[in-house]
Amino acid sequence: MKSVLIVAEHDGSALNPSTAKTVRCAQALAADSIDVAVFGSGIDAVAAQAARLNGVNRVLSVDRAENAHPLAAVIAPQVAALAPDYRYVFGPSTTFGKDVMPRVAALLGVGQISDIMEVLSADTFQRPIYAGNAIVTVRAPADGPIVATVRVASFRAVAEDGSASVETATTDATLPTHTRFVELQSDTGDRPDLQVANVVVSGGRGVGSKEKFDLLYALADRIGAGVGASRAAVDAGYVPNDMQVGQTGKIISPNLYLAFGISGAIQHLTGIKDAGTIVAVNKDPDAPIFEIADIGLVGDLFAVIPELEKQFGG
Amino acid sequence: MEKIMVCLKRVVDYNVRIRVKPDQSGVVTEGVKMSINPFDEIALEEALRLREQGKATEVLVVTIGSADCQQQLRTGLAMGADRAVLIESDHDVEPLAAARILLKMIEKENPDLALLGKQAIDDDCNQTAQMLAALWDRPQATFASKLEVNDGSLRVTREVDAGLEVIDVDLPAVVSSDLRLNEPRYVKLPDIMKAKKKSIETIAIDSFGVDTTPAFAVTEYAAPPVRGKGIMVDDVAGLVDALKEKGFSL
C-alpha cells in the first residue's frame, strides 16, 4: 500500500487553502490513494469541503470536543494513531503544519522533510535551506512513513470538483490536558488571506505611518487584494505581525505583488520569490527590490497610489 | 521554576551571503563567520530575563556539534548563562536525533523549561522543539512572542498565520521562540573575559547510546532559480500598460 494521509488545516468553518495545495503536492507522488483527515469539533461542513478536493479518495472526520482548537499536543497523537496505514503523512508548511507535523514524526519515530517544494520521485524531494538561498535534494529512507510539510507557495490548489466519501474516524489515542487554548487574537478583517490572495498590495517603511497604510488598504479593497508588509513596517508598528511577508513572516506566491515603499531586504525578497509578477514603486532608484521586480517605477508612492486607484477598477 | 535548559545551534551568521559550492556538495562554510542561531539567541535572552526576574534560578546552555561550538557556548556564558554543555559530534545531527539526545540531557538535568529557537537558519527545519516535546511527552508552545510565568504553568502568546494565539501549558514544557519574543542583549567585554574562565562540560555524543546516523540522504545542493531581469517604467501610465501586457486587467 502506497497511500497518503493529509492533515487538513481549517478554522472550524472552512478549509484553509493550504490543504488543497498539499493535495496537489501529494498527487505528484503517484500514490494509490489520498485521504484527508480533518480534526475538529462540529466539522461536517469542513469535511464536506475536503471531500470536494480533486484527487482525494476519502475524508476521515475526527470530530470531538478536544479538537475544537488546533493544539499540536492534542492532534499529533491522533494523527500518529491513523498513520500506520499510510506510506506518506503530509501537512501544509503553515504555522499549523509546522507545529503539528514534527510532533507526529517524533511520535512515529521518524524524521521529517520540511517544506517540500518539488516531488522528484516517490522518495526524493527538493526543499529550500538557508532561507531559499540553496535548494537541496533529499531522499527519504526506504521504510517507515514519510512525514513531511509542503511549502504551499510552491503548489497550486486543486479544484473543488471531486466527490470523495466522508467517514467518521476515531482513534484510541490518549489526549493530554497539559495544553489549553485560551484565545486567538485576529484582526485580518474581510481581506483575502495573504497566502492565497491572487493579488497582494504590500507596504514598507516608506509608507511612513499606521494611518498612511489606509492608502494601501483602499487600493487593495478596490482590486480585491490582500495586504502585506515588510518587516520594517511591522517593526515600526504600522501593521500587525501577521501581515509580515518574508523569511521570518509569510512566504507567498500571488500572481501579482505590488510593493510600495519597500526597499527589498533579502529577508523580504525570500518571501516573494515565487510571485508571478512583482511590481515595485520606490523613491530610491537604488533600492534592491528593483533587482528582482518585473516592473519597476521610481516614484513617490503617495502620488502613484491615488493615480493607480483611478486607473484600476474603472 | 528552577532550571531552564536552552539549546543553541552554531550556524553560519545571518549576514553571510550563502553560496552553493560549484560541485554542488554543500554550501560554502569555510572561512565564514559563525554565530549562535538567532532564534536560539532569543531563546537564551528570554531564559536570562526569567532568571533576572527571579522566575528561574539557573540557565543551562546545551549544544550539539563540533569542538568549534565552544565559541558559541562562550558567547552564551558571556550573555549570562550559568553553565554550558557541549555534546560533541563529528557529523551533522538531524532534528530527530538531536531531540533524542536533548531528551537524555533533560532526563539528566530535570529542567522545568526547555527553550529553543523556532528554527535554525541553516537547514530551516523547524522541528527540534516539537520533536523534543513529543518524546518528552510534554506540552509545546512554538513560535512564542510572549511568555508569562504562572503557578506551575506558562501563558504563551504564539505568532500564527491567523494572528496571535494564546495558550496555557503546564510545566515542564518546551517553548520555541519567534523573532519578537525579545531583543537579545549585547555582550560586553568584561563579560566575555569572565566567560573565558567558566568551564564548559564536554560529553561525547556516543555516550548517550542514541543512534545519530542521518536517516535522510542529501544528494544535491543547488543554487535557487534566478528571476529574469524586469523593466523600468517612467510613470503610472507606463506601469498600467506593462501590467496589461502581462495580462493583468485590474
Which ipTM value was assigned to this complex? 0.95
Alpha helices in chain B, H assignment, sequence order? 38-52, 70-79, 95-109, 128-136, 189-197, 236-245
Query: How far off is chain A from B143, nearest CA to CA, in Å?
Result: 8
Q: Do B126 and A98 touch (CB under 8 A)?
A: yes
**Is B131–A137 a contact, with Cβ atoms under 8 angstroms apart?**
no
Indicate the residue of B20, B126, B161 with minimum beta-carbon distance to A242.
B161
Q: Which residues of chain B have pLDDT under 70?
A: none
Pairing type for strands A124-129 and A118-119 reads antiparallel
Question: A279 touching B, CB under 8 A?
Answer: yes
Q: What is the pLDDT of residue B181?
A: 96
| Spatial separation of the C-alpha atoms in residues B15 and B49, rounded to whole Å | 26
Among A204, A211, A189, CA closest to A234: A204
In this prediction, residue A242 carries a pLDDT of 86
Number of Cβ within a 10 Å radius of residue B152: 10
Of B134, B138, B161, the CB nearest to A95: B161
Residue given cell 501549558 in the structure block: B169
Q: What confidence tens digit (pLDDT) does each residue in B45-70 have? A: 999 999 999 999 999 999 999 999 99
**Shortest CA gap A152–chain B (Å):** 13
Contact A297 B217 (CB under 8 A): no
Among A16, A108, A129, A195, the residue to mutate for chain B (most B Cβ within 10 A)? A129
Give the A:B interface size as CB pairs under 8 Å. 240
A107 Cβ under 8 Å from any chain B Cβ: yes
Chain A contact set for B233 (CB, 8 A): 295-297
First to last CA, chain B: 57
Tell me the Ramachandran region of residue A72: left when phi exceeds 0, alpha when psi lies from -120 to 50, beta otherwise.
Answer: alpha
Q: What is the pLDDT of residues A201-258, one digit of tens each?
A: 999 999 999 999 999 999 999 999 999 999 999 999 999 888 999 987 888 989 999 9
B106 contact A CB<8A: no
Q: For residues A31 and A122, what is the distance between their CA atoms, to the nearest angstrom?
A: 8
A100 sits in which H/E element: helix A95-108
Can you tell me the distance from the alpha carbon of A49 to that of A26, in angstroms, rounded to the nearest whole number?
Answer: 18
Hey, are the CB atoms on A182 and B124 less than 8 Å from each other?
A: no
Contact A87, A2 (CB under 8 A): yes
Contact across the interface for B163 and A188, Cβ inside 8 Å: yes
Task: Report in angstroms the alpha-carbon separations of A217 from A64, A210, A255.
Answer: 39, 11, 18
Q: Quick one: cell of B195?
A: 566567560
Could you give the C-alpha distances from A294 to A196, A263, A264, A289, B232, in angstroms and in order? 21, 15, 14, 10, 8
Q: Choose from B25, B212, B239 for mutation: most chain A CBs within 10 A.
A: B239
Residue B221: which region, alpha, beta or left (left: phi > 0; alpha: psi -120 to 50)?
beta
Contact B109, B138 (CB under 8 A): no
CA distance A143 to A146: 8
Interface contact B177, partner A, CB < 8 A: no
Report CB contact under 8 Å: A293, B230. Answer: yes
- Residue numbers of chain A with a pLDDT score lower than 50: none
The superfamily CATH assigns to domain B3-224 is HUPs (3.40.50.620)
Q: How far apart are CA A93 and CA A44, in angstroms?
A: 24
Q: What percent of chain A has pLDDT over 70?
A: 98
Fold of the CATH domain A3-168: Rossmann fold (3.40.50)
Q: In chain A, which residues have their Cβ closer than 8 Å to the Cβ of B210?
A: none
How confident is the model at residue A196, as a pLDDT?
78
Kindly determine whether residue B246 and residue A294, on different chains, have CB atoms separated by under 8 Å. yes
Res A1: pLDDT = 61
- pLDDT for A188: 61
Task: Give the whole-angstrom CA distance, residue B5 versus residue B184.
Answer: 17
pLDDT at A90 (0 to 100): 98
Contact assignment for B217 to A139 by CB distance below 8 Å? yes
Place of cell 497610489: A305
Cβ distance A188 to B179 less than 8 Å, yes or no, reads no
Q: Does domain A199-311 have CATH number 3.40.50.1110?
A: no
Does A265 reach chain B within 8 Å, measured CB to CB?
no
From chain B residues 9-68, the ones with a CB under 8 A of any chain A CB are 12, 17-18, 20, 27
User: In chain B, how long is the greatest CA-to-CA distance?
Assistant: 69
Written as one string, the DSSP assignment of A114-141 is: EEE-EE-SSSEEEEEEGGGTEEEEEE--
Residue B250 confidence (pLDDT):
77
Q: Residue A314 has what pLDDT? A: 54
Give the cell for residue A42.
462540529
Q: Where in chain A is the domain with CATH 3.40.50.620?
A: 3-168
Closest by CA position to B133, among listed A5, A181, A176? A176
Give yes or no for B145 touching A (CB within 8 A): yes
Rg (CA), chain B: 21
User: Which of B 230-249 lie inside 8 A of A, CB atoms?
Assistant: 230-240, 242-243, 246, 248
E strands, A130-178, where?
Answer: 134-139, 146-150, 165-168
Distance (Å, whole) CA A36 – CA B160 = 22
